[in-house]
Amino acid sequence: MTKAVKAKKHLGQHFLINEGIALDISNLITENQIKNVLEIGPGMGVLTKNLLKKSIKLKVVEIDSESINYLKTNYPEIEKNIINDDFLKLDLNNIFSSNFSIIGNFPYNISSQILFKTFENKDKIDELVGMFQKEVAERIACLNGKKRGILSVLIQTFYNVEYCFSVDEIEFSPKPKVKSGVIRIIRNQREKLNCNPKLYKTIIKTAFNQRRKTLKNALKCFDLKMDTNIKTLMSLRAENLSVEDYIYITNNVESI
């Protein structure tokens, strides 16, 4: 029997040990056709073993050499498709020749960065299924209210987000100090923004950086064309606006 991998704190490793939950997560990947799937941080392969049974083209990216050796020993069929690298540093143009999905029990310390990278590569990544700290998962799925943040709006601009289920601390080894949440995001029909993309991100970040203020005060550095809709939006806080609202505001900026 192969010796289990020792969880490394600096890599944020908490290994899922509940096989049923692992199967449920694996089954969230849509499988309506042969598709490319990249698993981030497979560890000891609790998801990998299920993914290998599916009609998909699977590659895994793992930074931990001990985990890689474990995977090679226990799942030799994946050996040629193991990428020994840091996902955040990967050039995603070189992974697959066409679009792909991402899956993983993500280390909490880089989970937001994984989503930002997904947003930046939205034309390549069709879908993402991931385990996050519950608070982060809820924030990404939130459509209105205090849990909503910059990343919520950015991801929801190009993806439909579904909060799938929560996972208790007891299901991991070692146990994390927080609960986890699994979400699935699927690329929506928006091919491009009907506004200036750079300005759009700036508007969102500026609004949330002063989230306790109404937009009238938070966005006072922008010269806006004031119409009835803009006046209504300016009376709200950042957390209460939809993606379409932010696009509308961006298109009504005259100068900065």
List the CATH number of the domain containing 59. 3.40.50.150
> DSSP alpha helices (H): ranges in 1-64?
19-26, 48-51
Q: How confident is the model at residue 10 (pLDDT cuts 50, 70, 90)?
A: confident
For the cut 70, the answer to whether the pLDDT of residue 97 exceeds it is yes
25 & 113 share domain:
yes
37 & 93 share domain:
yes
High-pLDDT (> 90) share of the chain, %: 86
Q: How confident is the model at residue 182 (pLDDT cuts 50, 70, 90)?
A: very high
Domain residues for the domain of 17 are 9-187
101 & 131 share domain:
yes
Does residue 240 belong to any structural domain of this protein? yes
86 & 114 share domain:
yes
Name the domain count of the chain: 2
pLDDT, position 9: 78
pLDDT, position 205: 96
Contacts of 235 (CB under 8 A, 6+ apart): 214, 215, 216
75 & 144 share domain:
yes
Rounded Cα gap, residues 105 and 46, in angstroms: 10
Alpha carbon 27 to chain centroid, angstroms: 17
Q: Which of 157, 160, 83 is nearest to 129 (CA)?
A: 160
Cβ atoms of residues 71 and 42 within 8 Å: yes
For the cut 70, the answer to whether the pLDDT of residue 34 exceeds it is no
Does residue 3 belong to any structural domain of this protein? no
Does residue 2 belong to any structural domain of this protein? no
How does pLDDT run across 194-226, given as a tens digit for each residue? Answer: 999 999 999 999 999 999 999 999 999 999 999
**R_g (Cα) of the chain, nearest Å:** 20
* Residue 252 buriedness (CB in 10 A; 0-12 / 13-18 / 19+): middle
Contacts of 85 (CB under 8 A, 6+ apart): 61, 63
pLDDT, position 23: 97
**pTM for the whole structure:** 0.93
- What CATH number does residue 248 fall under? 1.10.8.100
82 & 109 share domain:
yes
